Structure 1
């Protein structure tokens, strides 16, 4: 993969999971990376890994607080700031029946979307001032299909909105040499499941979902990262507005 777009790669949610794997891939290709995360310990650990590989910095920010993530906007708006790549990888997932969702549950999902919308808007203006760029959003298979075993109406609504935003941004920003795509993963082993599964039980719980996927296993974060990297790279310079399924074949048909 070639990454010839000038400017840094800004990874929202880059301290763990798919975001961190994307950051590692980009750093390994000599792209300067800025990761954004809320957990200070995770952020420090991730930065240590990345700096051992290449040039990386971090911004600690809570995406649920405009006052907190304002520092991300300020960084993007600095006179000499140049963002060439943006990955929106922040996420939260906690399945719950539709009738049991509280207003707070709803706001948890939509609050992330709001922050990523505003950050993406600010990045787009930065890219328009410079030489364009490439953006990838991490969507979800749940945005395209409901799964009875994992009721997740608010999460799916938020991710479907992110898919729609991807296409609208792609249309509106194409004239400015800005490409916008998304990936739509099924079950991928990441820390996101620790929101509702004991960390010590996550591996066993996910193993029980292997047969859900036609390929026969859940995905790995680095596999999704490879597709994200491909969409960011010059290899896909004629691709924009796409929602790519990275799901072990689930959208083609499920085993059960």
Structure 2
């Protein structure tokens, strides 16, 4: 019997790592992709034999190509794919540089072609499930966090979700996305000191969410693992708001 596994791009921290924990707790196997050797090693030490790690800088085309070749040579059925890699550095539109813009679009390019490689595996093995980590910022501008370049990239990921759902349905591949609001993860380290992320976000954004608090990685991971499972077998092409009520509460 072919072994099944879930590949999590951006799996060494945040929502990706929280998803990996839940998959392993349910008896699954994961492959974590990340750029930090230290974070990957720590994740591997925590998760044990049910996790493999691939190191790749998604902004480096050679690294991405090497990762794609690893995926293509993997004989296991990669039944699940979670695209969770991301970066977030709010900046006013007029202050963005070409480098800022490319930092987001390079991730989208890597995501596109990594997903191609995984889909090739899924088609050869009878199907699978993909979940993309999108963002509320792709749907709604927030004055306190101007993020036009980031939002443009995430809106593209939402659109990719819907297009792939249409194209891949005949191959028994479902494709969905989640759209989180503020979640306490290391992604905010680009402009908040790592040891201050939780305090800063809770002070500034708890009240922003109708449910009364910012999110935790586990909040999003529960929805991701549901979408990966057969329990969501009639769901494809969806972009689910997992945002503490933000989109419902905006007027």
Preserved CA contact (<8 Å) 2:9 2:32: yes
Q: For residue 137 of structure 2, what is the aligned residue in structure 1?
A: 142
Q: Structure 1 residue 203: deviation in Å?
A: 2.0
Deviations 1:24-53 (A, max 9, x none): 1111111111000001101100111111xx
Preserved CA contact (<8 Å) 2:78 2:121: yes
Paired residue total = 249
Deviations 1:1-30 (A, max 9, x none): xxxx96210000000000000011111111
- C-alpha distance in structure 1 between counterparts of 2:147 and 2:129, whole Å: 30
Say what the alpha-carbon RMSD is for the aligned residues. Answer: 1.3
Q: For residue 251 of structure 1, what is the aligned residue in structure 2?
A: 247
Residue in structure 2 matching 1:214, options 210, 213, 226? 210
Higher helix share: 2
Residue in structure 2 matching 1:65, options 44, 49, 60? 60
Preserved CA contact (<8 Å) 1:6 1:84: no
Q: For residue 14 of structure 1, what is the aligned residue in structure 2?
A: 11
Q: For residue 233 of structure 2, what is the aligned residue in structure 1?
A: 237
Residue in structure 1 matching 2:29, options 8, 28, 32? 32
Deviations 1:79-123 (A, max 9, x none): 623210000000000000000000000000000000000000111
Q: Structure 1 residue 199: deviation in Å?
A: 1.7
Structure 2: segments with no counterpart, 5+ residues: none
**1:79–1:198 CA distance, 2 compared to 1 (3 A):** closer
- C-alpha distance in structure 2 between counterparts of 1:204 and 1:11, whole Å: 28
Structure 1: segments with no counterpart, 5+ residues: none
Preserved CA contact (<8 Å) 2:93 2:146: yes
Is it true that 1:49 corresponds to 2:46 in the alignment?
yes
Preserved CA contact (<8 Å) 1:94 1:196: yes
Q: Structure 1 residue 165: deviation in Å?
A: 0.1
- C-alpha distance in structure 2 between counterparts of 1:114 and 1:75, whole Å: 18
**1:241–1:176 CA distance, 2 compared to 1 (3 A):** same
